[in-house]
C-alpha cells in the first residue's frame, strides 16, 4: 500500500467517535456486531472499531482489487475479524449477505465518487443500489431509526456527511424521496 497506508483524507474513527459521531454509532454497535463498510479505502476505522469492542467482524468493500489484496495480506492473521471484498458498492451480493449485518456504513465513499470522473450519475447509482440493498443486508431489529441518509425501517445506518454537508443531505433527500414514499417513511 506504500505511502497511502494508514492515511485518510478525512477523519478516522477517533474523530468520528467523538461527541455526535459516537452518540450516533454506539447505540447500533456492540462487541458482537457485524459491520459492512462500503468504500473502505485504507481507513483504520475497522481496526479501531474492533479494538474498541464495537464490532466482532467487519466486511470491508472497495472496488480497488489491488487495495483489497493488500489489506487481505495485511490482516491475514485477523481473518476472524476482517474480511475484504473487491466489489462495486452498486453490486453487492444481497442474496449471499441477506440479514447478515447490524450496521452498514460508508466513510466518505460517496464523497469520493462525487468528486471523481463519474461524479453525480455514479453517486446516484451507488446510493440507489445501496439503499435497496440495506433493507436486505441488515438484520431485523425491534427498533426503527434513521437519519437523513438512512433508509432502513429495521435498523439504523448513518453517514456523518448528512450532519455537516447540506448539499449532500439535499442530494440524499432528492434521491430518496421515491424510496421513502414507497415505504411510507418520513425524510428527516
Q: How many domains does the chain have?
A: 1
What local confidence, expressed as pLDDT, does residue 66 receive? 94
Residue 107 in contact with residue 46, Cβ under 8 Å?
A: no
What local confidence, expressed as pLDDT, does residue 104 receive? 80
Per-residue pLDDT of the chain in tens (188 residues, 90 and over written 9): 444 444 444 544 445 444 555 566 677 788 898 988 888 888 888 888 888 888 899 999 998 999 999 999 999 999 899 999 999 887 888 889 888 888 887 766 766 766 767 777 777 777 777 766 767 777 776 333 333 333 333 333 344 433 333 444 455 555 545 444 444 344 33
Global confidence as pTM: 0.66
Say which CATH number the domain at 161 has: 3.40.50.150
* Within a domain: 80: yes
Domain interval for residue 97: 26-183
What local confidence, expressed as pLDDT, does residue 21 receive? 56
* Within a domain: 170: yes
Q: How large is the angle between the packed helices 166-183 and 119-137, nearest 10 degrees?
A: 50
* Within a domain: 4: no
Amino acid at each position: 500500500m506504500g505511502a497511502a497506508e494508514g492515511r485518510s483524507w478525512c477523519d478516522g474513527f477517533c474523530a468520528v467517535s467523538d461527541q455526535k459521531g459516537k452518540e450516533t454509532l454506539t447505540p447500533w454497535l456492540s462487541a458482537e456486531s457485524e459491520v459492512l463498510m462500503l468504500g473502505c479505502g485504507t481507513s483504520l476505522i475497522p481496526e479501531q472499531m474492533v479494538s474498541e469492542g464495537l464490532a466482532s467482524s467487519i466486511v470491508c468493500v472497495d472496488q480497488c482489487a489491488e487495495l483489497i489484496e493488500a489489506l487481505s495480506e495485511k490482516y491475514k492473521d485477523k481473518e476472524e475479524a476482517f474480511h475484504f471484498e473487491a466489489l462495486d458498492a452498486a453490486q453487492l451480493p444481497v442474496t449471499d449477505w441477506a440479514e447478515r449485518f447490524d450496521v452498514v456504513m460508508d466513510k466518505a465513499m460517496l464523497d469520493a465518487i462525487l468528486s471523481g470522473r463519474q461524479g453525480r450519475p455514479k453517486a446516484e447509482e451507488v446510493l440507489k443500489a445501496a439503499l435497496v440493498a440495506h433493507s436486505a443486508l441488515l438484520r431485523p431489529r425491534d427498533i426503527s431509526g434513521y437519519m437523513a441518509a438512512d433508509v432502513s425501517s429495521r435498523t439504523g445506518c448513518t453517514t456523518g456527511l448528512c450532519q455537516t454537508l447540506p448539499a449532500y443531505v439535499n442530494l440524499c433527500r432528492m434521491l430518496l424521496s421515491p424510496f421513502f414514499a414507497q415505504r411510507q417513511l418520513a425524510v428527516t
